[in-house]
Amino acid sequence: MREFVLGFGIGVSEIATREGALAEVTQEWASLANLFQTNLDLQQVFGDVSTSASTREAIARDLLASRVSAFTLELLSVAVEEESPRFLLETLLDLESVLRNEYLRGAPGFVGARRRVDGYALAYFRLDHRISLDAYESQLYSVSSAIGRSRELRRFLSGFGSSEESRLALVQDLFASRVDDPVLSVLGFAAKVTKSRDVVDVLERVAAVVARERGRRVAHLRSARPLSQEAEQRIRMTLSQSVGRDLELRCEVDPSLLGGIVAVVGDKIYDGTVRHRLDVARLALANAAD
């Protein structure tokens, strides 16, 4: 199992436990893993190495968005996007052990530690909604800067001459009153995992994960003319259903579009403009003439 997926699974287990949903999530996951084991069509779809990771994720969301909890949906989405298709079934089975807290976690290497923390943090960004993504990012940068200003603190929390227990205790003493609980969880996990790794580097990478996640939750909408609030709300709901997560809509008016709208969500483009349809028609006519 890739370290990013493992970290995400650990985060899901913790958050679901706090919300009293772990039993439901574990049961859903066991049923899902069994379905993948017995359904050859699913194995073929998600085991196709020629299919892009983003396409596999989109397929997973389309299939299960209204059928399972957000915990299960997000965990599957990350697994099919991040894991090698040839090892996906094995990873799905291993994740059941992660949710049951029965998975044996080896000590990660330098790159593995960063990826495990990245995955763990992403689980909190997507599933723990007690604070905003802006708060996650600003608090992580604040903590990272504070640690970076002290050479001794940086070395201690990076694991040089310190035990896991002492690092976690120091994180609690220094930051429990300065950051929100979700950020404290991410910080504690980073200090626990990053033995002999630069914790400041790890936290800065995690802040970058927040920024990428914010980008995936924003739909940039351009329209030929201003839209009513009702139209904006309908479009937001339609796009949210399409990508399987709530979206924030940012709108701008672009008269050059002639009519219709174009929406960009992450790396996906939804173009329903008159200009686009005219371009398609021109291309079709040119091909016909040839």
Closest CA to 207 of 149, 145, 158, 159: 145
Using CA atoms, how far residue 106 sits from 13, 116, 193, in Å, is 18, 11, 10
163 vs 107: which has the higher pLDDT:
163
- Residue 33's region, left for phi above 0, alpha for psi from -120 to 50, else beta, is alpha
d(CA 215, CA 266): 6
Q: What are 83-115's pLDDT values in tens digits?
A: 998 899 999 999 999 999 888 887 777 778 889
The pLDDT-based confidence of 249 (bands split at 50, 70, 90) is confident
Domain ranges of the chain: 3-99, 110-118+125-214, 218-289
Q: What is the pLDDT of residue 30?
A: 94
pLDDT of residue 286: 53
CA nearest 2: which of 100, 81, 102, 66? 81
- What's the CATH number for 3-99? 1.10.520
Q: Is the dihedral of CA 213, 21, 104, 185 positive or negative?
A: positive
Please say if the pLDDT value at position 260 is more than 60: yes
Q: What percent of the chain has pLDDT over 70?
A: 88
CA 12/CA 23 separation, integer angstroms: 12
Burial class (CB in 10 A: 0-12, 13-18, 19+), 114: buried
Strand partners, 208: none
Residue 132 to residue 138: CA distance in whole angstroms: 10
pTM to 2 decimals?
0.74
Among 219-223, 227-231, 264-268, the range of highest mean pLDDT: 227-231
Tally the C-alpha atoms within 13 A of residue 157's C-alpha that lie toward its C-beta: 30
